[in-house]
Amino acid sequence: MPTSLRSALCALLTLALDPAAAAATASQTAEYTVTFQSTWSAETHPVDYPSNSHFSGLIGTTHDATVSFWQLGQLASPGIESMAETGSKSPLLDEIASAATAGSADALLSGGGINPSPGSVSLSFQVDLNYPLVSLVSMIAPSPDWFVGVSGMSLLEDGDWVEEKIVTLWPYDSGTDNGTTYTSYDSDTNPAVPIYEIMSLPVGNGVPLGTFTFTRTDLPTAVDGESPRARALLYQNSPNPFNPSTTIRYRLLQAQDVSLTIYDARGRELVTLVDGEQETGMHSAHWDGQDRFGEQVVSGVYFYQLRAGALFERKRMVLLK
223 domain residue, yes or no: no
168 domain residue, yes or no: yes
- Amino acid at the residue 162: V
**How far apart are alpha carbons 47 and 40 in whole angstroms?**
12
Q: What is the pLDDT of residue 235?
A: 84
* Tens-place pLDDT, residues 66-118: 999 999 999 999 999 999 999 999 999 999 999 999 999 999 999 999 999 99
39 domain residue, yes or no: yes
Q: What is the pLDDT of residue 281?
A: 83
CATH number at residue 50: 2.60.40.2130
State if pTM tops 0.85: no
Same domain, 128 and 19: yes
Same domain, 168 and 49: yes
Query: Among residues 149, 153, 163, which one has the least CA distance to residue 131?
Result: 153
Q: What is the pLDDT of residue 160?
A: 84
Among 155, 189, 216, where does a domain finish?
Answer: 216
Q: Please count the structural domains in the chain.
A: 2
Same domain, 190 and 274: no
221 domain residue, yes or no: no
Same domain, 167 and 72: yes
Question: Cβ neighbours of residue 212 under 8 Å, at least 6 residues apart?
Answer: 34, 35, 36, 136, 150, 166, 167, 169
Same domain, 170 and 28: yes
Query: What angle do the packed helices 78-86 and 90-101 form, to 10 degrees?
Result: 150
Residues of the chain with pLDDT under 50: 1-24, 220-230
Among 169, 185, 216, where does a domain finish?
Answer: 216
In angstroms, how far apart are the furthest CA atoms of the chain? 64
Q: SS3 string of the chain?
A: CCHHHHHHHHHHHCCCCCHHHHCCCCCCEEEEEEEEEECCCCCCCCCCCCCCCEECCCEEEEECCCCCCCCCCCCCCHHHHHHHHHCCCHHHHHHHHHHHHCCCEEEEEECCCECCCCEEEEEEEEEECCECEEEEEEEEECCCCEEEEEEEEECEECCEECCEEEEEECCEECCCECCCCCCCCCCECCCCCCCEECCCCCCCCCCCCEEEEEEECCCCCCECCECHHHHEEECCCECCCECCCEEEEEEECCCEEEEEEEEECCCCEEEEEEEEEECCEEEEEEECCECCCCCECCCEEEEEEEEECCEEEEEEEEECC
12 domain residue, yes or no: yes
Among 182, 216, 250, where does a domain finish?
Answer: 216
Question: Cβ neighbours of residue 8 under 8 Å, at least 6 residues apart?
Answer: none
Same domain, 8 and 91: yes
CATH number at residue 259: 2.60.40.4070
184 domain residue, yes or no: yes
Q: What is the pLDDT of residue 12?
A: 38
Same domain, 75 and 134: yes
222 domain residue, yes or no: no
Q: What is the pLDDT of residue 232?
A: 64
Same domain, 23 and 139: yes
Range of the domain at 306: 228-319
**How far apart are alpha carbons 14 and 146 in whole angstroms?**
20
